[in-house]
């Protein structure tokens, strides 16, 4: 692990991530944050129990931002979701492998933090509760989406193979997420079983 981190640090030294983040995130000092840790793939800022982590993913090369309160850590995506659901649906974490791409991506993330995370930077408890609630709801939605994505092809296969009892069971397990065509197949399978 240490060797991988050393290799990552070595290959990224020329990308100047630390200085780019320091420059683009200097506005954090206006909110009372100070840099407490810096490396070729992460810069951490703190103000009491609050923190902001800006990182360059070791494998993904994503330029990410985390908002921290105590031991809780929230991705910037959740802050976007709390403030603007439409922007949340459109948002993608930028990835950067070159210095010029890092400059653009870090600037973009700094703008995102200024636009969507100001209540977190000010330590607003209500906002952190909203982050937690949105994160939990999002996790539940992702779990349901994953379940439906696994069941949907199995239900379609059971229907095609005329295993109507299986098709009914599978379609009913995701009844709140059926398409119009799947609802029709469920009705048909119920009649034929």
pLDDT digits (tens, 9 = 90+) for 126-160: 999 999 999 999 889 889 989 999 999 999 999 99
CA-to-CA distance for 148 and 171, rounded, in angstroms?
10
Average of pLDDT values for 73-93? Answer: 96
Q: What is the pLDDT of residue 10?
A: 61
Q: What is the pLDDT of residue 85?
A: 94
pLDDT bracket for residue 12 (50, 70, 90): confident
Say if residue 5's pLDDT is above 50: no
Structural contact between residues 167 and 186, judged by C-beta atoms closer than 8 angstroms? yes
Q: What is the pLDDT of residue 7?
A: 45
Say if residue 176's pLDDT is above 50: yes
**What are 54-75's pLDDT values in tens digits?**
999 999 999 999 999 999 999 9
Average of pLDDT values for 95-107? Answer: 96
CA-nearest of 27, 20, 48, 19 to 115 is 27
CA-to-CA distance for 80 and 96, rounded, in angstroms?
21
Tokens of 77: 């995506």
Q: What is the pLDDT of residue 138?
A: 86
Say if residue 2's pLDDT is above 80: no
Task: Give the mean pLDDT of the chain.
Answer: 92
Map tokens 């034929």 to a residue: 192
Burial letters 8-36, b for 16+ CB under 10 A, else e: beeebeebebbebbbebbeebeebebebe
Say if residue 188's pLDDT is above 60: yes
Tokens of 116: 């969507």
**What are 27-44's pLDDT values in tens digits?**
999 999 999 999 999 999
Report which DSSP code applies to 84: -
Q: Is the torsion defined by CA of 32, 25, 74, 89 positive or negative?
A: positive
Say if residue 13's pLDDT is above 90: no
Sequence-distant contacts of 165-171: CB under 8 A, at least 24 apart:
165/189, 165/193, 168/193
CA-to-CA distance for 109 and 106, rounded, in angstroms?
5
pLDDT bracket for residue 8 (50, 70, 90): low
CA angle 52, 32, 133 (to 5 degrees): 45
pTM of this structure: 0.75
């Amino acid at each position: 692990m240490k060797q991988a981190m050393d290799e990552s640090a070595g290959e990224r030294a020329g990308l100047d991530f630390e200085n780019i983040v320091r420059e683009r995130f200097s506005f954090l000092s206006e909110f009372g944050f100070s840099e407490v840790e810096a490396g070729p793939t992460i810069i951490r800022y703190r103000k009491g129990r609050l923190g902001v982590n800006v990182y360059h993913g070791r494998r993904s090369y994503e330029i990410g931002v985390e908002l921290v309160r105590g031991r809780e850590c929230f991705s910037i995506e959740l802050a976007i979701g709390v403030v603007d659901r439409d922007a949340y649906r459109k948002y993608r974490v930028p990835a950067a492998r070159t210095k010029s791409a890092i400059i653009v991506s870090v600037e973009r993330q700094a703008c995102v933090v200024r636009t969507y995370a100001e209540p977190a930077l000010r330590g607003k408890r209500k906002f952190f509760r909203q982050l937690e609630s949105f994160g939990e709801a999002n996790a539940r939605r992702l779990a349901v989406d994953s379940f439906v994505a696994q069941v949907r092809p199995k239900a379609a296969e059971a229907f095609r193979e005329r295993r109507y009892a299986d098709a009914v069971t599978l379609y009913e397990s995701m009844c709140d997420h059926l398409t119009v065509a799947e609802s029709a197949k469920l009705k048909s399978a119920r009649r034929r079983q």
